Structure 1
Amino acid sequence: MSDFDGVFFAEVLTGGLLSGVMYALVAIGFVLIYKTSGVLNFAQGAQLLFAALTFVSLVERGIPFVLALLLTLAAMILLGLAIERVVLRPLQNQSPMSLFMATLGLSYVIEGAAQLLWGTQVHALELGIADTPLQLGGMMISSFDLFAAATAALMVALLSLFFRYTRLGLEFRALADDGFAALAVGLRLPRILAAVWATAGLIALIAGLLWGARLGVQFSLSLVVLKALPVLVLGGFDSVLGAIVGGLLIGALEKLAEVYLGPLVGSGIEGWFAYVAALAFLLVRPSGLFGQRAWQRA
């Protein structure tokens, strides 16, 4: 009996960790923008929805899969560049609250544009990966969860290599570490910010396809952005590593709470337990596991 319980626990934990990787992918989009410009981009969820809806609408209109993917990627990069140039650059010296409200309003604008372009109907998004259970080490694991986690992990790895070994990536890291020093040595801030927002558009595309395939492409898909908030609280708003670790922790905690605490407190605990855990952690360590403390920013 104990062996069975151990295998079942490992199965639940693995499923949670796989979901956590997808949470982390959404959170990384937040971190990239926040580290470079100090903006909490609430429009990330709307960008995710726009990407998924654009892709599935193109495919349904007979556009080949690869061409639809490339066209959607181009649209998301252009959208990211437009957000930075038209909305946020003129507000560069405004307060963080003003910038946050700008992205909040922008999220509704993007959702409205998606509705005008593609309509409001719900779409099923097929990526060619059947959601069938696989038996690994005695555990039953969803094949789609494995694919989604592998895709998200590959995306994270490529981003890490890009920001570590390319010139533009090094410029981004310099700006994130010390913006004043980066400007003093002649780095071109508009160019870096444009590249970061374009990268955020790419992340929104990948996350939108994965979450759209799992939940269906509907306007509530933009609320996935709320799943990233507990991740950022645990990991830190300015740490890519924190987004990854925070995503894994939130995913695992959600699944374990649903299975082991759900029968005691009632169903639906998976929907709110992460926020309770994030609130409790916020009281202990407001900067998150890997975030910079407030005195370091001053």
Structure 2
Amino acid sequence: MGDFDLSFFIEVLVGGLLSGVMYALVAIGFVLIYKTSGVLNFAQGPLLLFAALTYVSLIERGIAAPLALVLVFAAMALIGIAIERTVLTPLANRPPITLFMATLGLAYVVEGSAQLLWGGQVHALDLGVSDTPFDVYGVFVSRFDLFAAGVAGLMVAALIAFFQFTRVGLSFRAAAADPYAAGAIGLRLHAILATAWIAAGFVALVAGLLWGARLGVQFSLSLVVLKALPVLVLGGFDSILGAIVGGLIVGASEKLAEVYIGPFFGGGIEIWFAYVVALVFLLVRPAGLFGRVQVERV
């Protein structure tokens, strides 16, 4: 093994951290729904695909980008409200496995609807930012990764500000802490859940555009949610901060493992290394770094 190259190590680490921000962006969509309803929303991936596919299809039909963004966000908001009213509300107080299976079924419905509306062909999505690297004191950083990290950071800051300093956000936090008490003091739980689904739809839109620009808008895009699962395990299923930290850990660890450990295994460990890390966390700290530990009294 040759001499340790610090600049190359930093380059790999920074690339991993920037990828981790993209993973965190997907995970935040899960957190928003899980915090309010306790549901692991497996439809988040197809929602991400639906948003990206709808946007690029509108652009290809001559719709201006700003108008296309507004139309897609409106569509995501309507879908979120429809899911909350027609699926989750009727299934309230059912066992968690029932709700999980409902979101799994929704995933196929949303994915099938996207294909029915826009077809199954692959689309290129250009956000106007190249993926060429630039030199920062000897460390090469992808322009697109830096742009994506900046967009994700702004979106996270906006969500945190919304939930911390607005009346709706305070109601959301109250419902997340204790939905029964929140309902008892007159908070409108339906409106709070609808807001959570609208916010998750907005996250899916942003994540869909960024991942679509990187990978192309295709139906395998919905599988990006699989990368969010180890992020949620590490950070906690009910913590936005945990999703961010978990994403950074997953992104950095898998890139470093691929470069420095991968050669001993023939390469390719980046695909599964994050799940090994998540399994270790499940054994040591099941609630994740920032998740609330569930205490059951008998």
Q: Same fold (TM over 0.5)?
A: yes
Distance in structure 2 (CA, Å) of the matches to 1:84 and 1:293: 26
User: 1:267: Cα distance to partner?
Assistant: 2.1
- Greater CA drift, 130-139 or 244-253: 130-139
Give per-residue Cα distances to partners, 1:179-223, cap 9 Å, x unaligned: 222112111100100111011100000000000000000000000
Task: Provide the residue aligned with 2:251 in structure 1.
Answer: 251
| Residue 207 (1) aligns with residue 169 (2) | no
SS at match of 1:294: coil
User: 1:178: Cα distance to partner?
Assistant: 1.6
Task: Provide the residue aligned with 1:220 in structure 2.
Answer: 220
Distance in structure 1 (CA, Å) of the matches to 2:113 and 2:53: 11
- Greater CA drift, 127-136 or 140-149: 127-136
Distance in structure 2 (CA, Å) of the matches to 1:234 and 1:254: 14
Task: Provide the residue aligned with 2:286 in structure 1.
Answer: 286
Give the direction of change, closer, same or farther, for the CA distance of 1:84–1:136 in structure 2 (3 Å limit).
same
Give per-residue Cα distances to partners, 1:6-25, cap 9 Å, x unaligned: 11111100000000011111
Task: Provide the residue aligned with 1:173 in structure 2.
Answer: 173
SS at match of 2:288: coil
Distance in structure 2 (CA, Å) of the matches to 1:137 and 1:103: 47
Task: Provide the residue aligned with 2:135 in structure 1.
Answer: 135
Q: Which letter maps to 1:173?
A: R
Unaligned runs of 5+ in 1: none
Task: Provide the residue aligned with 1:157 in structure 2.
Answer: 157
Task: Provide the residue aligned with 2:231 in structure 1.
Answer: 231
SS at match of 1:140: strand
Q: Superposed, which structure 2 residues align to 1:1-298 within 5 Å?
A: 5-295=5-295
SS at match of 1:227: helix
Q: Which letter maps to 1:238?
A: D
SS at match of 1:134: strand
Q: Which letter maps to 1:162?
A: F
User: 1:296: Cα distance to partner?
Assistant: 6.9
Give per-residue Cα distances to partners, 1:148-173, cap 9 Å, x unaligned: 00000100000000000000000001
Give per-residue Cα distances to partners, 1:77-116, cap 9 Å, x unaligned: 1111111111111111211000000000100000100000
User: 1:137: Cα distance to partner?
Assistant: 2.3
Q: Which letter maps to 2:26?
A: V
Number of residue pairs matched by the alignment: 297
Distance in structure 2 (CA, Å) of the matches to 1:147 and 1:277: 27
User: 1:244: Cα distance to partner?
Assistant: 0.6
Distance in structure 2 (CA, Å) of the matches to 1:266 and 1:89: 49
Q: Which letter maps to 2:284?
A: V
SS at match of 1:174: helix
Give the direction of change, closer, same or farther, for the CA distance of 1:297–1:225 in structure 2 (3 Å limit).
farther
Q: Which letter maps to 1:283?
A: L
SS at match of 1:130: coil
Percent identity over paired residues:
72
- Greater CA drift, 61-70 or 155-164: 61-70
TM-score w.r.t. length of structure 1: 0.97
SS at match of 2:141: strand
User: 1:297: Cα distance to partner?
Assistant: 9.1
Distance in structure 2 (CA, Å) of the matches to 1:19 and 1:257: 14
SS at match of 1:295: coil
User: 1:36: Cα distance to partner?
Assistant: 0.4
SS at match of 1:293: coil
Divergent runs of 4+, >3 A: none
Distance in structure 2 (CA, Å) of the matches to 1:11 and 1:209: 25
Distance in structure 2 (CA, Å) of the matches to 1:42 and 1:147: 27
User: 1:266: Cα distance to partner?
Assistant: 1.6
Q: Which letter maps to 2:67?
A: L
Q: Which letter maps to 1:195?
A: T
Distance in structure 1 (CA, Å) of the matches to 2:5 and 2:206: 35
